[in-house]
């Protein structure tokens, strides 16, 4: 039996394949090795995996994950998976490779992730030939959920939100300067904390201020992470991720303004990856 895993920073989708069929699925928290330890990964999987799931029957695992660009980070994930699935042959690649395969397979194009974090690459149909640098939620991640949440909170803390949005935000969340700084600088998973505010943004997306905020974040992403590729105007751009999916109409508007051709937006690459392995 084969496991195919697509992991972002917030959630990971797992699919079990046997005899040419997808026979089981489950979901864990995101397993980004920059934010979780080996023990975190073991605990999360053991608490989530279906009780009828025989871990010793897994012969192969294809794991595509955020934060898995270096040998050190791949080794962390592999160590945890080997403990849980000791008889498995494990291949670990970046979420960008999984996304590119899911979006383009053997075609050429620009693959984009807009979820809790963000990333992009130029895919030649077989491999990534150029990658826009992913600098994380502090230095980068433009257009991501973390970026949207950070932008909203900065507007709030700098008293730049319209009074109606400010009041609604305070009614929905326990939010003060100290609470925000504690969660961003001292508590674990600050990127997830920031990204949670995309729910509030989505709820109030018809407000002109909120729509403009999202547009500005997407246009910044396009400028820094799509237009950096040669001949970008001649290439298809395809996107995955919860943020791309939930704000698809604004993303497509920004693509027109940015003179790029987005012809596909999906929430998750897992089903397309499963079809490849089936």
User: Does residue 27 form part of some domain?
Assistant: yes
pLDDT tens digits for range 20-31: 777 778 888 888
pLDDT at 46: 85
User: Does residue 144 form part of some domain?
Assistant: no
Distance, CA of 203 to chain centre: 20
Q: Is 17 left (phi over 0), alpha (psi -120 to 50) or beta?
A: beta
Positive or negative, the CA dihedral 137, 138, 141, 145 is positive
Report which DSSP code applies to 109. E
Query: 92 pairs with which residues across the strands?
Result: 63
**pLDDT per residue as tens, the chain (278 positions):** 889 999 987 888 998 888 877 777 888 888 888 888 888 888 888 888 877 778 888 899 999 998 888 899 999 999 999 988 999 999 999 989 999 999 999 899 999 999 888 889 999 999 999 887 776 666 668 899 999 999 999 999 999 999 999 999 999 998 888 998 999 898 888 888 999 999 999 999 999 999 999 999 999 999 989 998 888 888 999 999 999 999 999 999 998 887 888 999 998 899 888 888 87
User: Does residue 32 form part of some domain?
Assistant: yes
CA distance 104 to 107: 5
CA distance 74 to 90: 10
User: Does residue 180 form part of some domain?
Assistant: no
The 3-state DSSP class for residue 142 equals coil
pLDDT at 91: 94
The CATH number covering residue 74 comes to 3.30.420.40
CA distance 152 to 222: 19
User: Does residue 84 form part of some domain?
Assistant: yes
**Domain span holding position 28:** 2-97+271-277
> How many independent structural domains does the chain possess?
1
User: Does residue 253 form part of some domain?
Assistant: no
User: Does residue 247 form part of some domain?
Assistant: no
User: Does residue 158 form part of some domain?
Assistant: no
pLDDT at 4: 92
């Amino acid at each position: 039996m084969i496991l195919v895993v697509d992991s972002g920073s917030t959630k990971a989708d797992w699919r079990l394949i046997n005899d040419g069929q997808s026979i089981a699925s489950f979901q864990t928290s995101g397993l980004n090795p920059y934010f979780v330890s080996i023990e975190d990964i073991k605990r999360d999987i053991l608490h989530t995996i279906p009780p009828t799931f025989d871990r010793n029957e897994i012969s192969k695992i294809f794991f595509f994950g955020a934060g898995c660009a270096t040998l050190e980070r791949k080794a962390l994930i592999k160590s945890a998976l080997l403990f849980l699935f000791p008889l498995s042959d494990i291949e670990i690649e970046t979420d960008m490779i999984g996304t590119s395969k899911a979006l383009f397979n053997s075609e050429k194009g620009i693959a984009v992730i807009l979820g809790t974090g963000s990333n992009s690459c130029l895919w030649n149909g077989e491999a990534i030939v150029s990658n826009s640098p992913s600098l994380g939620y502090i230095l980068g991640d433009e257009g991501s959920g973390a970026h949207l949440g950070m932008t909203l909170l900065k507007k709030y803390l700098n008293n730049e939100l319209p009074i109606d949005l400010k009041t609604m935000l305070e009614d929905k969340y326990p939010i003060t300067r100290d609470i925000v700084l504690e969660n961003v600088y001292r508590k674990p998973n600050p990127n997830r904390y920031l990204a949670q505010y995309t729910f509030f943004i989505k709820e109030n997306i018809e407000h002109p201020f909120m729509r403009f905020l999202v547009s500005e974040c997407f246009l910044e992403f396009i400028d820094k992470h799509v237009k950096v590729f040669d001949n970008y105007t001649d290439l298809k751009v395809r996107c995955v991720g919860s943020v791309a999916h939930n704000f698809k109409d604004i993303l497509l508007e920004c693509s027109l303004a940015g003179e790029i051709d987005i012809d596909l937006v999906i929430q998750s690459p897992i089903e397309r990856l499963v079809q490849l392995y089936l």
